[in-house]
Structure 1
Amino acid sequence: MAERIGVIGAGAFGTALAVAQAAAGREVALWLRDPAAAAEMAEGRENRARLPGVRLPPGVVPTADIANAAREIVLLAVPTQRLREVLQAQAERLAGCTLVACCKGVELGTGLLPTEVIADVLPGARVAVLTGPSFAADIARGKPTALTLAATAPGAEALQEALSTRSLRLYLTGDLTGAQMGGALKNVIAIAAGVSIGAGLGESARAALMTRGFAEMTRHAEARGADSETLHGLSGLGDLVLTCTSEKSRNYRHGLALGAGRPPEAGATVEGVATARALAAAAPADALPVTAMVAALVDGKVTLADAVELLLSRPLKRERE
C-alpha cells in the first residue's frame, strides 16, 4: 500500500497518529477545518492547542485542503458525533479511499457505530477500524503501544503492514463490530469507575464496576453480532483497564469530577457521555445497568446516592449472568 497517508482531524489523537506515521518515514497530510490553524501549525511545527510539547516531524503536512488529505489510506480521527457531518461535507473527495475509523462511540439518534456511519454516507466504501488501549501522548512520543486493526479481506494484511511502525504494533481482526463495541462501551464504564473513586467509594468498588462492566460490554457486543473473544483482546479488556485506571483518560476524569461534585472539564470530548445516552435510550435499563446509571447520572436524572443505591440493590445472581 501507499506510503502517503491522510489524517482527518487534528485533535490530540489524530495529531499523534500523524506524528507516528511520519516518524516511520511516511508522508502524512493532517487535515484541519480552519486554514489559519493549519498555517499556524505548519509554521510552528506543533499542535499547541491539543498536543503541546510534541514537535511535528518534517513528514507531517498540516493542511485545510481536503484534496491534499484524500489519499489511498485516510485515518478518520474526528469525534464520533461529528463523523457524519465531516463525511457528508467531504464525500466526493473521500470516495475511493480506504477509510480507517479511529474514533470510538455510538452515534446519537441512530445508534450506529463509526463504520456503520461511514457505510450510511458512503455506501461501498472500504472501511477499517483502529482502536485499543492508547493515549495520544504515548503514541506521539514513540512509546510502545499495541492496537487492534479491524479489517476484512482482501487487503487487510497490507493495511496492517502499511500502518504498523516499530513502536505501534497492530493486531489484526475481522470483527469490526466487536472492536468498535469494546472501544465505545469501555468509555462508559470508565466514567462509572471515575465516579466510584471521585465519590470515595474505594478501589474495591472500582474493581467491581470494571468487572461487571466488562460483562455488560461483552453481553451487549454479542447481541450486536460481535465475537466475545474480541472483547477479551486489546480493543475490549485492554482498553477498559487503561481507561478505568488513569487520569490521562478524559472519560475517567469526567467520572472523577461527577463523583467529587466538581464541574467537569470544560471543552473536553467525552465520548462515553454520548455513548451512554445513545445506548440507554435504545435498551432496557436491566440489560445495561451500568450504562443506564451513567446516562441518568450525567443527565442529572438521579443523584450520586441514588445511582449507587440502584446498582447495589439489583437482584442477586450468578456471576456469569
Structure 2
Amino acid sequence: MAQKPLSHIGIIGAGAWGTALAAVAARAGRKVTLWAYEPEVADSINRQHLNELYLPGIPLDTSIRATTDLSAVSANDALLLVCPAQALRSVTGSMARHVKPGTPVAICAKGIEQATGKLMTEVVAETLPEAVPAVLSGPSFAADVANGLPTAVTLACADDALGEALVEAIGIPAFRPYLASDLIGAELGGSVKNVLAIACGIVEGRKLGASAAAALTARGFAELTRLGVALGARAETLGGLSGLGDLILTCGSRQSRNMSLGAALGEGRDLAEIIAERVTVAEGVATAPAVVALARRHNVEMPICEAVAAIVTGEASVDDAIGGLLARPFKREA
C-alpha cells in the first residue's frame, strides 16, 4: 500500500529551531501546528506572526498556528520533536495517548538523556512505542533556515517509505534532507558535536589559536567516530552531514549556543551566570557527562569530552582541563 502524503505537520517545541522548521514546513505547503511551552510565544506567533523570544525579527508564514495544547498537535500526520533533549521524555510521555499508531516522529533534539544515558531514539521507543522514529539532524543554524538560506541535513529513518514521505513533506530547494537509515549515527553526531563545540569555544575564549581549534576539531571527530562505531553507527553517516558537517558548523561560529558558551567559559566567566542570562539551552552542558558515562560503558576513550564534562560539572578548572589534555602521552594518530 502506497504511503499517503503527510499534509499536516505537528511540531513540538517553539524555540528557535522548532520555529525555523515550522517556517520550512509552511513553505513546503504543509499545514503546520506548532506547540509552544510558553503562552506568550504562542500568542506572539498567532497574533504578530513573529517569535520574538527565540527567533526575533524574522516574519513567519501567517498559516502557522501555535498552541499550548499538546493534544492539538499530537494527532497530526507527522511530528517533529524539537523540545530540549532533557525534556523529551516528559513531553512525549504527556502526548503519548494522542499519537496515532504508525505516526512518523522525527527527533530533532540533539542530546543524550543525562539521567539514564539513553539516546533520544531509546527514549522515544519507551514513551511512544507505536510511533515510527526518524532523526533529523545536520549543520543548520535556525536563523539561516528561517531566512531561507540554503541548508542540507540528514533525515534517517529505518522505514524507507516513511522516510521518503518525510523528505517530500518538508524538503524544499533551500532545505534539502538527505535520506539515510542509520538512526544511531545521525543522532549521535548531533549529540557529541555539542560537547565538542564547548571545547572549541574554550579554545577561542582562551585565545589558544586557530591551529589548536583545528586540532581539537579533528581529534574530537575521532572521538565521535570511535563512540559511534562502538554503538553500531556507520562510519559514512558520522562523516556526513549529521556528524562531520554539523561539527564543522558548530565548532566554527559563536552563533552556536554551545560554542559561544564555551567561549564565555574560556574567557573566565562562571557557568551558572552564563546559563542564567540565556533564554536558549546549550545542550552540550547536560550531554557532556552523559557522553562520558556512555563511552566508559563501551570502553571508548574520549579525553576531550571528558575534559568538557569535568569543567561543566565543576570537577576541574578550564586551565587544569587544558593542561591535562596537553600532558597526555604522545601516541599514534590511528
TM-score, normalised relative to structure 1? 0.96
The 10-residue stretch of structure 1 (271-280 or 251-260) with the greater mean CA deviation from structure 2: 271-280
Instruction: Name the residue aligned to 1:69.
Output: 73
Asked if structure 1 preserves the Cα contact closer than 8 Å seen for 2:110 and 2:191, the reply is: yes
Alignment of 1:314 onto 2:331:
no
Aligned with residue 50 of structure 1, among 45, 49, 54: 54
Asked if structure 1 preserves the Cα contact closer than 8 Å seen for 2:261 and 2:282, the reply is: yes
Instruction: Name the residue aligned to 1:297.
Output: 311
Aligned with residue 17 of structure 2, among 7, 13, 22: 13
Deviation of 1:164 after TM superposition, in Å, equals 0.6
| Cα gap change, 1:235 to 1:154, in 2 (>3 Å) | closer
Deviation of 1:286 after TM superposition, in Å, equals 7.2
Instruction: Name the residue aligned to 1:167.
Output: 174
Alignment of 1:142 onto 2:152:
no
The 5-angstrom pairing of residues 166-245 of structure 1 reads 166-245=173-252
Q: Secondary structure at the match of 2:177?
A: strand
Asked if structure 2 preserves the Cα contact closer than 8 Å seen for 1:9 and 1:78, the reply is: yes
Deviation of 1:27 after TM superposition, in Å, equals 1.1
Deviation of 1:66 after TM superposition, in Å, equals 2.3
Deviation of 1:24 after TM superposition, in Å, equals 2.1
Instruction: Name the residue aligned to 1:275.
Output: 287
Q: Secondary structure at the match of 2:211?
A: helix
Provide the C-alpha distance between the structure 2 equivalents of 1:95 and 1:315, rounded to a whole number of angstroms. Answer: 54
Q: Secondary structure at the match of 1:2?
A: coil
Query: What is the percentage of aligned positions where both structures have the same residue?
Result: 48
Provide the C-alpha distance between the structure 2 equivalents of 1:151 and 1:14, rounded to a whole number of angstroms. Answer: 20
Asked if structure 1 preserves the Cα contact closer than 8 Å seen for 2:30 and 2:169, the reply is: no
Deviation of 1:59 after TM superposition, in Å, equals 2.0
Count of aligned pairs: 320
| Structure 1: stretches of 5+ with no match in the other structure | none
Asked if structure 1 preserves the Cα contact closer than 8 Å seen for 2:11 and 2:18, the reply is: yes
Per-residue Cα deviation, 1:191-239 (whole angstroms, up to 9, x for no partner) = 0000011011111111110000000000001111101111110001000
Provide the C-alpha distance between the structure 2 equivalents of 1:40 and 1:242, rounded to a whole number of angstroms. Answer: 30
Instruction: Name the residue aligned to 1:104.
Output: 110
Deviation of 1:280 after TM superposition, in Å, equals 1.9
Aligned with residue 86 of structure 1, among 67, 82, 91: 91
Instruction: Name the residue aligned to 1:128.
Output: 134
Provide the C-alpha distance between the structure 2 equivalents of 1:219 and 1:311, rounded to a whole number of angstroms. Answer: 18
The 10-residue stretch of structure 1 (114-123 or 260-269) with the greater mean CA deviation from structure 2: 260-269
The 10-residue stretch of structure 1 (66-75 or 223-232) with the greater mean CA deviation from structure 2: 66-75
Asked if structure 1 preserves the Cα contact closer than 8 Å seen for 2:227 and 2:295, the reply is: no
Provide the C-alpha distance between the structure 2 equivalents of 1:40 and 1:247, rounded to a whole number of angstroms. Answer: 27
Asked if structure 1 preserves the Cα contact closer than 8 Å seen for 2:192 and 2:291, the reply is: no
| Structure 2: stretches of 5+ with no match in the other structure | none
Per-residue Cα deviation, 1:90-114 (whole angstroms, up to 9, x for no partner) = 1101242211101101001211111
TM-score, normalised relative to structure 2? 0.92
